[in-house]
């Protein structure tokens, strides 16, 4: 048919040969080196999937890539996204198995209850805040990071890093979280483990001064503070473990940027309907986002 196009009309030839005109033109396009409509659609999808994957620092798996595409107004089936990622050799980062770490309890003169009992989300922001301290190895030695997270929105409200660990680390992170929120209702539950940094007499005075209720899990039972541990797992798997940290100063700078720019404002959380924490709070309160201060 291609050879006879100059002598006969394509419409007549396809009728006589009982073939479709679209099929003929698709054949012509393939042999001319031009991709067909299906191939062009697939290439378009692959490009969008790769961009979302790259923008996530090569962290997202198909569920989050699919959710981000939907947020951008590109509707596609989740399985189609998974096939596209497989076709391109793109693979998100999966959480590792959590390894429990025993906390050294503080010596206190008062009894601290567990008000949460593993039910961290009480259905609204500023009802339960969770906290923990993690250890970060650098070329100059250990760096300690304390963070306070709202259990409902998953937003990290306050965080502090220092080369020393002590009660002052938790107090600074908590006060920064309190300052960020502004007007905080009385009776917010502050939940952590029984580490001495959280259960000291000095911290008891801080909780009382801020009119917050103190809550701790059981000694040596890491699952009683599993939500805080989950924050560290995300941070280490998606960020910390993928880089080298020669100096404490570099770690401070880049961790601060990751927490505020990535975790709070851009990372999609499955528990929030695949929204970032700040966007989730904006939708919840129907108010503009407030820029968070950079902590040291």
- Phi, psi (deg, nearest 5) at residue 223: -65, -20
Question: Quick check: 273 pLDDT over 60?
Answer: yes
> For residue range 4-32, what is the model confidence (pLDDT) as tens digits?
666 777 777 778 777 787 777 776 766 66
* pLDDT at residue 295 in the model: 46
* pLDDT at residue 34 in the model: 61
Which of 170, 223, 218 is CA-nearest to residue 194? Answer: 218
Domain check: are 134 and 80 in the same one?
no
> For residue range 126-143, what is the model confidence (pLDDT) as tens digits?
999 999 999 999 999 999
Which of 225, 194, 206 is CA-nearest to residue 108? Answer: 194
Q: Structurally, how many domains does the chain consist of? A: 2
* pLDDT at residue 109 in the model: 40
Beta-carbon neighbour count of residue 107 at 10 Å? Answer: 8
pTM for the model stands at 0.73
Q: Which of 3-12, 71-80, 123-132, 240-249 has the lowest mean pLDDT?
A: 3-12
> For residue range 174-184, what is the model confidence (pLDDT) as tens digits?
999 999 999 89
Q: Would residue 17 count as lying in a domain?
A: yes
Domain check: are 189 and 269 in the same one?
yes
Q: Would residue 4 count as lying in a domain?
A: no
Mean pLDDT (whole number) for 104-127: 79
Residue 264 belongs to what domain range?
128-285
Of 14 and 267, more confident: 267
Domain check: are 192 and 267 in the same one?
yes
Question: Quick check: 201 pLDDT over 60?
Answer: yes
Q: Would residue 3 count as lying in a domain?
A: no
Cα gap 90→48, rounded to integer Å:
13
* pLDDT at residue 107 in the model: 45
Average pLDDT, the chain: 86
Domain boundary, last residue among 70, 88, 106: 88
Q: Would residue 27 count as lying in a domain?
A: yes
Domain check: are 140 and 18 in the same one?
no
Domain check: are 77 and 189 in the same one?
no
Of 130 and 34, more confident: 130
- Assign 159 a pLDDT band (cuts: 50, 70, 90): very high
Q: Would residue 2 count as lying in a domain?
A: no
Of 111 and 254, more confident: 254
Composition of the chain by helix, strand, coil, percent to 5: 45, 15, 40
Domain check: are 48 and 157 in the same one?
no
Q: Would residue 223 count as lying in a domain?
A: yes
- Assign 36 a pLDDT band (cuts: 50, 70, 90): low
Domain of 215, CATH number, reads: 3.30.420.10
Domain check: are 84 and 134 in the same one?
no
Domain check: are 142 and 51 in the same one?
no
Domain check: are 211 and 276 in the same one?
yes
Q: What is the DSSP letter of 8?
A: S
DSSP 158-217: EEEEESS-SHHHHHHHHHHHHHHH-S--TT-EEEE-SBHHHHSHHHHHHHHHTT-EEEE-
Question: Quick check: 226 pLDDT over 50?
Answer: yes
Domain check: are 43 and 139 in the same one?
no
Question: Quick check: 296 pLDDT over 50?
Answer: no
């Amino acid at each position: 048919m291609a050879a006879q196009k100059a002598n006969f009309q394509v419409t007549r030839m396809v009728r006589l040969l009982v073939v479709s005109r679209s099929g003929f033109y698709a054949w012509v396009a393939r042999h001319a080196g031009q991709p067909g409509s299906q191939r062009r659609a697939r290439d378009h999808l692959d490009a969008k999937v790769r961009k979302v994957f790259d923008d996530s620092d090569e962290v997202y798996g198909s569920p989050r890539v699919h959710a981000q595409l939907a947020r951008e107004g590109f509707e596609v089936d989740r399985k189609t996204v998974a096939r596209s990622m497989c076709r391109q050799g793109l693979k998100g980062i999966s959480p590792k198995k959590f390894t429990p770490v025993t906390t050294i309890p503080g010596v206190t003169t008062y009894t601290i209850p567990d008000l949460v009992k593993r039910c961290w989300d009480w259905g609204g922001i500023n009802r339960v805040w969770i906290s923990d301290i993690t250890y970060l190895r650098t070329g100059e030695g250990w760096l300690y990071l304390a963070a306070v997270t709202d259990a409902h929105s998953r937003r990290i409200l306050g965080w502090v890093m220092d080369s020393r660990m002590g009660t002052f680390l938790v107090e600074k992170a908590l006060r920064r979280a309190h300052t960020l929120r502004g007007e905080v209702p009385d009776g917010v539950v502050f939940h952590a483990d029984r580490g001495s940094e959280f259960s000291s007499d000095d911290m008891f005075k801080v909780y009382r001064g801020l009119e917050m209720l103190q809550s701790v899990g059981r000694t040596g039972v890491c699952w009683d503070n599993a939500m805080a541990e989950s924050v560290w797992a995300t941070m280490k798997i998606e960020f910390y473990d993928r880089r080298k940290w020669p100096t404490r100063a570099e770690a401070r700078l880049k961790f601060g940027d990751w927490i505020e720019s990535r975790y709070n404002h851009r990372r999609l959380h499955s528990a929030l309907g695949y929204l970032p924490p700040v966007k989730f709070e904006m939708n919840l309160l129907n108010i503009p986002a407030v820029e968070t201060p950079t902590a040291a």
